Amino acid sequence: MNHAQVSRISSHVRVREILGLMARQKHQPLVMEVQKAVQADPGRALCLWFLPSSVRDAAYVLLAFHNELIRALAPARSAAVAGPMAGYIRLQWWREVLEAQRKPEHVLAPAIMALVQSGQVQRETCLKMITAREMELEPTQDVERWMQMMRDGAGAFQQAIGELLGVQDAVTLQRLAAGGAAYGAGTMLRHWPLLAGTGRFLFPGMQEQLRQVGKMFLQECHFKALEPRCRKAALPAVLAKRDLARGSEQAGLPRGIGDRLAVCRAGIQASLATIFSITPIRTE
């Protein structure tokens, strides 16, 4: 066994040690960060529940990381004096942590670094999520730039989930990212009236244009053609399809039973297909 293999095994052990705290200590700070993320993003949290138990805790840590990056934008939106600089400072701190230029002093940082150092999640994928939030601090009327922000933000999060599952094929990872971007677009359409006054980088166009861009992302994902384990990583695309088929009449409301059942059905089908190699049941 060479040095690289020993280092990789040691990193995996470190990941298990860190994430094991989540199961043993209900009030441990890391768990509290995950709980905040679940409350802030119940749609993605539901989708993560269908992942294999071996990676589920790590996926929830990634969700907490994604949520923390979004929270980093809050001072930039609320501070009249600091403006976007406050957001840039917080995001730069995370960039330096991931690039090993700063100590991982945030409660989430050791767990994220353990995932990166073990190779379970690519450093570049996490850096993309930071880049997306930096782009949000400089909103423009450029649709292509907005689309790239969605691929690097919501898209990179789903790509990271695929990496956790061991997906290495670049095309498949791009499809997962497209599914994540579709979810981001669908969520924006769903909550459009509420988001309009928050300072977030909304789609630079009309709602109907946003719907069409979201549907384009969905086509790139091609959810039903993904292999079963990849469908587990792309479950937010199920919610995206439903969100993009309606308007913003549910803005600010929790998801209804129909949305939750759709995710459960798709998640169960993917799990069964993984076990028994069955073809997904057509529902339309």
- Please report which confidence band the pLDDT of residue 27 belongs to, taking 50, 70 and 90 as the band edges: very low
**For the chain, how big is the Rg over CA atoms in Å?**
19
Structure tokens at 47: 């989708």
Give the tens place of pLDDT for each residue, 69-113. 999 887 655 554 456 888 899 999 999 999 999 999 899 999 999
Give the tens place of pLDDT for each residue, 154-175. 999 999 999 999 999 999 999 9
| pTM, entire model | 0.88
Which residue type occupies 94? W
- Cα end-to-end span (Å), the chain: 52
In terms of pLDDT, which residue wins out, 190 or 20? 190
Structure tokens at 180: 């994540």
